[in-house]
Amino acid sequence: MSTATYAGVSVELNDEGFFVDPNQWTKDIAVELAKADGIEELTSQHWTVLEFMRKEYFEKGTGPTVRVLGKTSGVSVKDLYLLFPKGPAKMAARIAGIPKPKGCI
Amino acid sequence: MDGKITKVSIIVSKGSLEGIYPALIMANGARAEGMDANLFFTFFGLDAVNKKRIEHIKVATVGNPAMHIPTLIGGLPGMSGLATHMMSKTMDKLDIPPIPEFIEMIGDTGCGMYACKASVDMFNLTKDDFVEQVQDIITVGDFYDMAAGGQIIFT
């Protein structure tokens, strides 16, 4: 566990860099997190995925896997990997301020 | 090495359902973690990407003690189909895609897929026999070049 400051807010992160409390997240924080992960600008497609991830997390208690994202977020698997090259579900979860999604597929 | 795996090359040598799925799950999972991944299909593993066979991959009910059914029963006509049907239903519930859909998805993740030249020649196949996700037919030497700097997993 560690603390980091993004967009002027001090947030708690776990060892892998995921948010401990998703309620600490803001859109400004997402922009900074994305930059730190190599995404210069968050496009509307990025936001579609990030918002979908948060919605799923708050509804189901865990973020969606790539498979679920590809089927239900409206963004194809191919595009997901273009948007989030370091692994869509994992990278998007980190930027969306939710824990790492559980699931093998 | 900082303890993180950044690349995997997975060899698929078996053509049964239980022989193919683990490799596909590992390749897909590697890409999901942001690793580079390659799948190399050899021997009966080629069935996983063979257009004529991909829809007909079955569970082995004979020579598979983990099925816990007597070999003679497992050998009855239709047993393998039945076991495959039952397993496919369970996997569908868990949202594990059928093999053709899984191969397509893994292709979309940017995982490399290759067929082994020796096996392709042995089974008298050509590139046209494979699904479009198979990028090339390569030699074992090409495979090692491609796998350089990463981990190799044989299934």
For residue range B14-62, list pLDDT tens digits in order: 999 999 999 999 999 999 999 999 999 999 999 999 999 999 999 999 9
* Residues ≥6 apart with Cβ < 8 Å to B71: B62, B63
Chosen for mutation from B4, B108, B132 (greatest number of chain A CBs closer than 10 Å) is B108
The pLDDT of residue B20 is: 97
Q: Closest partner residue to A67 among B34, B97, B110, by Cβ?
A: B97
C-alpha to C-alpha distance for B33 and B21, rounded to whole angstroms = 18
pLDDT of A7 reads 86
Give how far B34 is from chain A: nearest CA, Å: 4
Please write the tens of the pLDDT for every residue from A61-90: 999 999 999 999 999 999 999 999 999 999
For residue A103, the model assigns a pLDDT of: 86
Q: Is the pLDDT of residue B2 over 70?
A: no
Structural domains of chain A ordered from first start: 2-95 (1.10.10.370)
Given A67, A86, A91, which is nearest B105 (Cβ)? A67
Place of tokens 């999972």: B29
pLDDT at residue B85 greater than cutoff 90: yes
d(CA B52, CA B41): 15
- Per-residue pLDDT band for A8 (boundaries 50, 70, 90) equals confident
- Report A:81-100 residues touching B (Cβ under 8 A): 81, 85-91
With CB atoms and an 8 Å threshold, state whether B105 touches A77: yes
Identify the closest residue of chain A to B98 by CA–CA distance.
Answer: A105
Per CATH, the architecture of B15-147 is what?
A: 3-Layer(aba) Sandwich (3.40)
Q: Which residues contact A16 (CB under 8 A, 6 or more apart)?
A: A100
Residue pair A100/B20 in contact by the 8 Å Cβ criterion: no
CA–CA dist A61, B115 (Å, integer): 40
Q: Say if residue B155's pLDDT is above 70.
A: yes
Q: What's the pLDDT at A45? A: 95
What pLDDT does A1 receive? 80
Say if residues B9 and B40 touch (Cβ distance below 8 Å). yes
Name the residues of A annotated as catalytic. 104
Tell me what pLDDT residue A104 has: 86
Test B97 with A66 for CB contact under 8 angstroms. no
pLDDT tens digits for range A22-58: 999 999 999 999 999 999 999 999 999 999 999 999 9
* pLDDT of res. B9: 98
Chains A & B: contacts with CB separation below 8 Å? 42
Distance, in angstroms, between B90 CA and closest chain A CA? Answer: 14
Q: Do B25 and A87 touch (CB under 8 A)?
A: no
What is the mean pLDDT of the segment spanning B131-141?
97
Q: Are B138 and B146 in contact (CB under 8 A)?
A: yes
